[in-house]
Amino acid sequence: MPVVFLLLSVLVAPRLCDVALPFGEAALWAASLQHLRVCDDGISEACPVRPEHGGAGFLSTVFTWRYALNNLKAAVVASDGAPAGALDATIQHLSALDQLMEQPMMDAFAQITQSARLLFDQLTPFLEMQPFAMRSLPTPPAVPRRWVWPSDGQTPLAGATFTLLTGEKMPAIGFGTWRLWGSEAYQPVSWALEAGIRHIDTAEGYANEKFIGDAIRDSGVPRKEIFLATKLSSVPKGLVDIEHTEAVFATQLQDLGMDYVDLYMLHTPPADPAQFQALWSMMELFYQSGHAKAIGVSNCDVNELRSLLSFARVPPMYLQNLFKIYKPGGQMSAEEDIVAFAHSHQIAVIGYSVQTEWPHVLPPLEDPHVMSVAASVGRSASQVLHRWALQRGVGVIPKSSRREHIEDVAELLHFDLDETSMRRLDGLATLSETGAQLLVRPSGQEDVYGLHPTTSFLTDSMGVRNVGFPFAAISKYVLGPATRVPPDACRQMCLDEPRCAAWEVCSPYDPQTGCDGCYLIGTSEVAMVEVNGWYAAVERTLP
């Protein structure tokens, strides 16, 4: 068994501190996006139910409003001067979006978007006055698993690699060529090779393989030093019959001017399971012939990948998926984290469109949270996003037609992101996908910003008010004697204690009435009851 790329993954102890978080600014930014505004009046030609090529539409509107509302919620909770009813109204709008996703109704869609817009219009003066919120990120329930890459500025890009199941090395930093149609690809690929990038990604469907082959030959870089990946597009998408697969691959090799590619992948799994299996058998033949040194898949969900593993004689060595900071690893939320699943089967993962707003409308390069992290490390937002993906164990293939942006990629091994920065960025997925209901949350993502709802009771800046836990239910889980602290300090004590799952405290302190302080509780498996004057919350689920 060859040494595989997972050996690069190590455990890194968290380094946590108080951080300033731009919740108010991010809420206003998201709500003000022009692509969101076109959906203020509901579904229309400009705001279709299913946009053909991404952009404004039903799903992008729901996710963007969730992002705006969750940032608003965090800003309100952090403020001592939030307008009365602001938190309740925010939670009500999040709940309405949850219901809309369960039962999509176009009339309700228009009502919710218009109401959310009115809420933000009313709260804009408050949000514009909000400073960055100071917050200590909670201790994670487990030590995060991060990938360590060179950051000394001395390692060449080709030196940061994954080891595939074949034993071959694949550079983790590549260059993508989607939307560099035809001859448009030649110059950017030439610049990428000049900048030291040695992994080039293309596809039959990009119609640029001939020009990429020309750029490689003209670069003077030896072919053996370049990892060339391409995709079979037409057959799995049903545009060409499966019987023509071999001819399609032969044409691709001819256009590239190569007798082999380092990686050949299905651009998407076929919709028909039987065809998926038949097509993979042909991919295995290309691999066995040596014309494809490795084989893999793209745009694949967990169920499709699991199915492929069940029938493959030669397992996939590579997965390429959309990898966005708002939706890491897939186009939609899934029951299982596809990146973790792929890694568990020693499949290398590459993320595309890391820095773009496609297919939705949140442009991460402009996100105040991303820009804040970028400013703190003295790097561009693009560099921060791609380094974040790398440290999560996902290779990157950024694309640009501008030389200066391509040269930015060459500095991805000149810096790293500390654990606080990584967790701040990880938390953006929860801002995008957490709703008001307990089960509306992204899978596989830590609740960095404390957004996961714990009860139907309304919250305020100190926690969940007028609720507590029956003492008989928590007595054996209490982590120590009661402490005389206010509710906000009690919550922070729980966040700082890895063994603490929940907390409760009464206010004001008065032992004569049974109010003897703050309890930290080592289980989340307890039900809340209504208790006037008490505060309580479940902060995390412990293993």
Say what the pLDDT of residue 331 is: 43
Say what the pLDDT of residue 509 is: 63
Query: Kind and range of the H or E element at 139?
Result: none
Q: State which amino acid sits at residue 341.
A: F
> Residue 298's beta-bridge partner residues?
320
From first CA to last CA, the distance across the chain in angstroms is 32
> How far apart are alpha carbons 319 and 458 in whole angstroms?
43
Write out pLDDT tens, residues 319-365. Answer: 999 999 998 876 444 457 899 899 999 999 999 999 988 777 899 99
- Give the catalytic positions in this structure: 206
Joined together, the tokens standing for residue 171 give 């550079």
Burial 97-119 (b: 16+ CB within 10 A, else e): bbebbeeeeeeebbebbeebbeb
Write out pLDDT tens, residues 91-146. Answer: 889 989 988 998 888 889 999 999 999 999 999 999 999 889 888 787 776 656 78
Q: In this predicted model, which residue has the larger pLDDT, 462 or 487? A: 487
Joined together, the tokens standing for residue 264 give 């050949």
Q: What is the dihedral of CA 212, 214, 216, 218, to 10 degrees?
A: -150
How many other CB atoms are found less than 10 A from the CB of residue 481?
Answer: 9
* Segment among 186-200, 256-270, 422-436, 443-457 with least mean pLDDT: 443-457
> How far apart are alpha carbons 251 and 43 in whole angstroms?
43
Write out pLDDT tens, residues 215-224. Answer: 999 999 999 9
Q: What are phi and psi of 454, to 5 degrees?
A: -115, -10
Say what the pLDDT of residue 330 is: 60
* Segment among 2-11, 261-270, 478-487 with least mean pLDDT: 2-11
Mean pLDDT of the chain: 88
**pTM as predicted:** 0.81
Confidence class for position 465, pLDDT limits 50, 70, 90: low
Write out pLDDT tens, residues 5-25. Answer: 333 333 333 444 679 999 999
